[in-house]
Amino acid sequence: MNALALRAPARVVVRMQRRSLWAGGILVVLGIAFVIGLRIWVASGHENCPDGDTTRCGDGSYLPTYARTATQTYLSGGGTALLALSVLIGVFVAGPLIARELESGTVRFAWAQSVSPARWLAARLALPAVLATAGVTVLVLVYRWGRSGVLGDTPYELSWSRSGVYPALGPVALAYALFAVALGALCAVLVRRTLPAMALTAVVLGTVMYGFGKRRYELWPTTRGLGHNPWPSGNAWPIESGMLTASGKELYWKDCFARGTAGPDCLKDQGGVTSFVDYHQASHFWPLQLMETGILLVLAAAATALAFRVLRRYHA
């Protein structure tokens, strides 16, 4: 199957879905304009120091402008916004792009015009995949640029490990978009009804995103700090904390909180002698991103292959 074979079906998709494609393009432009507008807003504020401080530099106090703090708050949800965009992409592919034609039966007319089911599905996957790749890549780059200018002296809101930020900082956002395209196609050919396919896609995507958000820290080994004050400095991501007994048994502070006995001697009374903290240091960002990206791309490839197989059986 070459590019020329896909060109005619792709043109049909563009004509049929031009309103949806325009809407997607407008969303991308609005996202870019929003970040640029925030950066201009911050730049217009009176700041005395490179980190955004409005007081004297180096005097031990830090007071940012309202524009800076508001921008940090807005950008702290950038990753969530990109995940929501991926859900919209998947729902669009599952419903208006594929399931509607299967449900109405108009797809059989296309198949009767020497367009094979494989070519038909490939055209409906290629276009959203290319557009999603381009759009999400631009949004990630713009978001990273916008975030880099407003970290200031208190970057916790925009810390790389926060669930609302992390997906927008690397290839994970692109992987979610491609997985959404593949999953939408699979749900469409399985259900072959517009609204149920859209709902199923949204539910599965939401479940996968929630699962990764909760267990992402397990994708790469953590670093352990030991001693009197083992808490990491800098932009680290603490995972677990507690104490070790003389035999090496791990006691966790979260168990004290669960029992309502989170006093300073809770773990010492159980035999704790050495404090520990398990955390991801900033250098773990790319290994975590690449691991999650790889898993999502494998899932996308599997969903795509299964969609073609299901469609082939349906056509037969």
Say if CB 50 and CB 149 are below 8 A apart: no
Sequence-distant (≥ 6) Cβ neighbours of residue 51 within 8 angstroms: 62, 151, 152, 153
Separation CA 104–CA 107 (nearest Å):
8
- Token output for 305: 């292959």
Tell me the per-residue pLDDT of 72-121, one tens digit each, with 9 for 90 and over. Answer: 999 999 999 999 999 999 999 888 888 888 887 777 766 666 677 888 88
What sections of 64-193 are H helices per DSSP? 66-75, 78-92, 100-104, 107-112, 117-148, 172-191
pLDDT tens sequence for the chain (316 residues): 455 455 556 666 666 667 777 888 899 999 999 999 999 998 888 887 877 788 888 777 888 888 888 999 999 999 999 999 999 999 998 888 888 888 877 777 666 666 778 888 888 898 889 999 999 999 999 999 999 888 766 578 899 999 999 999 999 999 999 999 999 999 999 998 999 999 999 999 999 999 999 999 999 999 999 988 888 877 899 999 999 999 989 999 888 887 777 777 888 888 889 999 999 999 999 999 999 999 999 999 999 999 999 988 876 5
